[in-house]
Amino acid sequence: MHHHRKDSDAATRAQFDELLKTFDFFKHHMAGYPSNQAFDYSPLFPALQYSINNIGDPFHDSNYTANTHEMERQVIYFFAELMRLPHNQRWGYVTNGGTEGNLFGMYVGRETIPNAITYFSEDVHYSIFKIVKLLQLKPVIIKSQPHGEMDYNDLLKRLKEHSKRPALIMANIGTTMKGAVDDVVKIREALHEAKIKQHYIHADCALSGMILPFVEHPQPYGFDNGFDSCAISGHKMIGSPIPCGIALTRKPFINKIAQSIEYVEVLDTTIMGSRNAFTPLMLWYAIQKKGVSGFRDQVAKMLETAEYTVQAFQKHNIKSWRNKNSITCVFPRPHHDITRKWNIASQGNLSHIITVSHVTKEIVDQVIQDILQDKGESIELT
């Protein structure tokens, strides 16, 4: 019996070691998905020996005291500041990622302006179709411009067709495939021109929400430009071993959806009941370590690598481009072996490399080398 335990321990260890090898390969061949692999949260590991839970509203007392609500609030304040959400209106929480943030924002929108028509562009994140079903929304899909931004003429035309109904708008602040940013100022102008008084704008800021606040000439973003709620990812630019995100909205909207739950003495305002208490801790730690200036430097480096990527492709006669303030570098879809090896995301005949921090110029050079070799061209990369 004792031997059996030893054998099974060895087998367990071997299986786990194999898994770690896969992860390690992935870490060094991760070019197409925006999950920054450059982080170290080991100082926080002691917290993993406790059963911690952020159940309930982070701005309300909880009977479950093993929580990180205090750190979560600090994370929310940091992002509220970035998104220019006025102090007296700031509310949010740390989510499981972009989809939950989008579901939350659209849910708040639906409750705030019932009977609305929902508008979003063809380039919207795939989670939106699921959210439309879950919330039983009435969708109208707006055409996109070739580079991925919403077509505002089509938006105006559609708004006019439904001008008697409130408008729930889902704006992309950095589209999944092309990194395009929908202009919320133009969206608001279209709403005004269509004479739609009741409207709500949710912004999917998954990736660009952590870029635009740190560049000199950003496209319009933020609550001062018309956001009513937004979702930002935590595992994309900041980096985290566990997917996470931030949902933000205006406090007055929350009062509509809040329910008091006696069992755990919390206010139920979030999509999930039990919530991860370790992810807010990691985001808090990253913010403490980096601060605004650290993130600004990180964004500048990522954008510089993105520009290098587009130019390196073009230098070798491979058509490549990126949107303004975007780290998403688009190019023609290469052979399946290459997209597989480098974890490159593709859609139709396009692929992209996203230059988050761990994607170095060396990685970009290696990807291009592989593409050229596949085409039978061997050109020395300088």
Q: What is the dihedral of CA 237, 243, 249, 254, to 10 degrees?
A: -170
Q: What are the phi and psi torsion angles at 58 (to 5°)?
A: -65, -15
Q: What is the CA radius of gyration of the chain?
A: 22
- Helix or strand or coil: residue 24? helix
Long-range contacts of 333-336 (CB under 8 A, 24+ apart): 334/370, 334/371, 334/374, 335/371, 335/374
CB 304 within 8 A of CB 326: no
Enclosing H/E stretch for 259: strand 259-261
Query: Any idea which residue has 């929908």 for tokens?
Result: 182
- Token pair, residue 64, equals 């479950």
Burial classification of residue 2, based on how many CB atoms lie within 10 Å of its CB (0-12 exposed, 13-18 middle, 19 or more buried): exposed
**326 belongs to the catalytic site:** yes
Q: Give the integer Cα–Cα distance in Å for 2 and 4.
A: 5
Catalytic residue among 62, 127, 229, 326: 326
Query: Pairing mode, if any, of strands 138-142 and 117-121?
Result: parallel
| Secondary structure class of 42 (helix, strand, coil) | helix
- Structural contact between residues 163 and 195, judged by C-beta atoms closer than 8 angstroms: yes
Angle (deg, nearest 10), helices 98-112 and 127-135: 40
- Asked if residues 257 and 111 have their Cβ atoms less than 8 Å apart, the reply is yes
SS3 126: coil
Catalytic sites, residue numbers: 326
